[in-house]
Amino acid sequence: MTGPRQVFEYAVLQVVPRVERGERFNAAVALYCRQLDYLAIRAELDVARLHALDPAADPEPIRLALQASTQACAAAAEAGRNARGQFFRWLTAPRSTVIQPGPVHTGLTADPAAEHERLLRLLVRPVTETTGGKPRGGVG
């Protein structure tokens, strides 16, 4: 997609397996661009990271919660411009649950889907030695 760059907002969704400890890791990126009618969540739950923070954690409820957020986001995206903005604001409101939003950041893009993939690669996927310090590819 080419064209003028538009403002977008994004937030990282973090998994906090034991809220009382406050330890967390990034599991998803929510991205909203009003001008280009884009709203989506891309999630990848890293079970090894989850178990590093809480060996007894069951990944399935967390995976289902991330999936439910992604599906609700898709429904909001279909509901129209106002619903997209309202859903993004609801999603990024602070809460005390196992899945918590980080702060909202902004940027400029002409291609929100490509930017979304770049942010997922940069902020969610683990950096490994086998990839030469670059995040590994693939969407889970």
- Type of residue found at 62: I
The pLDDT, as a whole number, for residue 119 is 98
Residue 23: is it exposed, middle or buried by C-beta count within 10 angstroms (0-12/13-18/19+)? Answer: middle
Q: Taking a C-beta distance cutoff of 8 angstroms, is the pair 42, 57 a contact?
A: no
Count of C-beta atoms within a 10 Å radius of residue 90? 12
Task: Identify the bridge partners of residue 101 per DSSP, sorted by sequence position.
Answer: 13
pTM for the whole structure: 0.86
Q: Taking a C-beta distance cutoff of 8 angstroms, is the pair 74, 68 a contact?
A: no
Domain-wise residue ranges, the chain: 6-131
pLDDT in tens, the chain (140 residues): 568 999 999 999 999 999 999 999 999 999 999 999 999 999 999 999 999 999 999 999 999 999 999 999 999 989 988 899 999 999 999 887 899 999 999 999 999 999 999 999 999 998 875 555 555 554 43
Alpha-carbon distance of 107 to 35, in angstroms, equals 13
